[in-house]
Structure 1
Amino acid sequence: MGSTDAESRDRDSAGRARNARPRDGLGRPLPYGAEGVARQPEGVVRTPEETVREAQELLDSGRPFHAHEVFEDAWKSRPGEERTLWRGLAQLAVGLTHAARGNVTGGARLLRRGAGAVEEWAAECGDSLPHGMDLAGLADWARVLADDVERDGAGAVEARERAPRLRGHGAS
């Protein structure tokens, strides 16, 4: 007989859907049994400092999809007033992911949406350097990258080369 329904649908021990397929560095699913990169554990509660540090390491290594997952954990676990910030940072990371995959429209759209979210948070909260992050620089980085992706067409960008600096001057 075949696998059980739960096994065939990649469920965790609590029955929640979890895609267990291995993934490449940009988060694309690979065939079962293929060698993938280590995935970020889901649902980890990190301090803002840990979140920024881990996400920067992933961005620097050309793994923006995985940085997006770190930001998503912060988005889901931080207090309500910070959620717009972490959601915007997740959008920036997934926008870079799409641009690195060659998805011009999705990449540019998410980069601009993320830029707007981090600017909105800074305007509402009066803090353009939360946890040491340069939100104005990140928004500028995202819009320049979105413009470059649209201008250059369907070619994928190199995620490691175009990764932002979360602290400092926007782009690395």
Structure 2
Amino acid sequence: MSDRDRDGAGRARSARPRDGLGRPLPYGEAGVARQPEGVVRSPEETVREAQRLLDAGMPFHAHEVFEDAWKTGPAGEAGLWRALAQLAVGLTHAARGNAVGGARLLRRGAGGLAGFEGLDGLDGLGRVPYGLELDGLVRWAGELAHRVERGEPIDAAREAPRLTAG
């Protein structure tokens, strides 16, 4: 019999509490509630929830929201949501002090979004998808990656990007 924590379906899943950046805490400590997995949200709900979590300094949790959208949404949008998840986890690593991983993921996410930038949206009507500020997010990620590589300490809440212009 394994001593590993298991979820209701018997899959290995750590029950350790986590902090706002997703780092495990010792058993018994108060942590931040985890994001439920596999939640199907509208794109607008995804953007709103991810922005709320980013603003609260919880980019790891925002990454999980984007990951749900990437895995449950239309296949044609998977790259968009994956790129946004990479930006959020890049901010997570940067705030944790992992300069190499943070900069790499920020740049990977920016590269993923750059493919959507020139298209001005997914709908073919010249609208940016879901009001996302793609140009601004690409610039933000590049600038933050440079700062992270210079060794600047990063506060996740203070550095949270604006996902939309509104």
The two structures have a TM-score, normalised by structure 2, of: 0.91
- 2:154 equivalent among 131, 146, 157: 157
- Cα shift at 1:56: 0.2
- Matched with 1:86 is 81
- 1:63 equivalent among 35, 38, 58: 58
Report whether the alignment pairs 1:75 with 2:70: yes
Distance 1:115 1:86, change over 3 A: same
Query: Whose helix proportion is higher, 1 or 2?
Result: 1
Moved over 3 A (4+): none
What CA deviation, in whole Å up to 9, does each residue of 1:57-116 have, x standing for no partner?
A: 000011101101111111110111000000000000000000101111000000000000
Specify every segment of 5 or more residues in structure 1 that has no aligned partner in the other structure, as ranges. Answer: none
The code of the aligned residue for 1:84 comes to G
Report whether the alignment pairs 1:103 with 2:101: no
Q: Return the alpha-carbon distance in structure 2 between the equivalents of residues 87 and 25 of structure 1.
A: 21
- Matched with 1:14 is 9
* Contact 2:43-2:69 within 8 A present in 1 as well: yes
Q: Secondary structure at the match of 1:49?
A: helix
Q: Return the alpha-carbon distance in structure 2 between the equivalents of residues 119 and 11 of structure 1.
A: 39
The code of the aligned residue for 1:90 comes to A
The two structures have a TM-score, normalised by structure 1, of: 0.88
* Contact 1:103-1:156 within 8 A present in 2 as well: no
Q: Return the alpha-carbon distance in structure 2 between the equivalents of residues 47 and 10 of structure 1.
A: 32
What CA deviation, in whole Å up to 9, does each residue of 1:42-63 have, x standing for no partner?
A: 1111110110000000000111
Identity %: 68
* Contact 1:85-1:121 within 8 A present in 2 as well: yes
- Matched with 1:130 is 129
Report whether the alignment pairs 1:113 with 2:112: no
The code of the aligned residue for 1:68 comes to H
Q: Return the alpha-carbon distance in structure 2 between the equivalents of residues 139 and 90 of structure 1.
A: 13
The alignment's C-alpha RMSD in Å is 1.5
Specify every segment of 5 or more residues in structure 2 that has no aligned partner in the other structure, as ranges. Answer: 122-126
